[in-house]
Amino acid sequence: MYNLLKGKRGIIFGALDENSIAWKTAERVHEEGGVFVLSNSPASIRMGSIMQLAQKTDSKVIAADATSVADLENLVDQAMEIIGGKIDFVLHSIGMSVNVRKGNHYTNQNYEYTEKAWNVSAVSFHKVMQVLYKKDAMNEWGSIVALSYMAAQRVFPDYNDMADNKAYLESIARSFGYFFGRDKKVRVNTISQSPTATKAGQGVKGFDGFIAFADKMAPLGNASALDCANYTVSMFSDLTKMVTLQNLLHDGGFSNMGVSQQVMEMFE
């Protein structure tokens, strides 16, 4: 390991189980010398195994509903007390669609579900940053990262309303990132990751077929959750201190492909 995050402190949202990108990121941050607080919703904490991760990484868990400003204010205050100062890095790995879970087609949404998913998956990112900004809780040259997906730019029919949520998430990163950079010297980026076999990803209809397709399209194959964790660590480190307002494509080259020979062979 490289001690890339020695002396750095942060908050990691969204670790659920060992398959989640946030979980892998927490492990890698710990290995690189960073200290952090883990946070998830009370329901997700009950459903997952985050306490095992906390024990493994010598970290604390603070329950917070990321759609609640009051919960986030409490989280940030407690986190700074636990880690002993201002925050250097934040990972927002939060996403949920009730329409996807319920099997509602994109053309037949339940709009109450749509609004809930929009709030959880995208607006929560604005709320997290607004609380950090108002509390002046970030150190200069800190790094905030949210996880996105390429459906924000291209059509993936079964990704449903999550595509809209990711597009909004990326817009928030750019817009809030401008003010965070100008006023606090904090960078804000999104990482557009390959389809990954997380609990959330596997809830999308046809996921197994699509992950196989993406793997055949990408010249390097799909990036794993661990690969994404390593990339996130680099984004938290001082090595990327001038990178901000970007949607960073981390997908083995999939995003620049028209068609691959492997896919063509399936039709010849």
CB atoms within 10 A of CB 172: 22
Span 33-81, pLDDT tens digits: 999 999 999 999 998 899 999 999 999 999 999 999 999 999 999 999 9
User: Of the CATH numbers 3.40.50.720, 3.30.230.10, 3.30.70.890, 3.40.50.300, which one belongs to the domain with range 9-265?
Assistant: 3.40.50.720
pLDDT at 17 over 80: yes
Q: What is the pLDDT of residue 65?
A: 98
Range 236-245 average pLDDT = 98
pLDDT at 85 over 60: yes
**Cα separations in angstroms, 169 against 2, 198, 202, 220, 245:** 31, 19, 21, 27, 12
Any idea where the domains of the chain sit in the sequence? 9-265
Split at pLDDT 50, 70, 90, the class of 237 is very high
Q: What is the pLDDT of residue 200?
A: 62
Span 172-191, pLDDT tens digits: 999 999 999 999 999 999 99
Split at pLDDT 50, 70, 90, the class of 268 is confident
Residue 134 contacts residue 184 (beta carbons within 8 Å): no
Split at pLDDT 50, 70, 90, the class of 205 is low
Split at pLDDT 50, 70, 90, the class of 207 is confident
What pTM was computed for the model? 0.96
Q: What is the pLDDT of residue 199?
A: 61
Range 10-38 average pLDDT = 97
pLDDT at 103 over 80: yes
| Residues listed for the chain | 268
How many CA atoms lie less than 13 Å away from 180 in the CB half-sphere?
33
Q: How far apart are CA 57 and CA 36, in angstroms?
A: 9
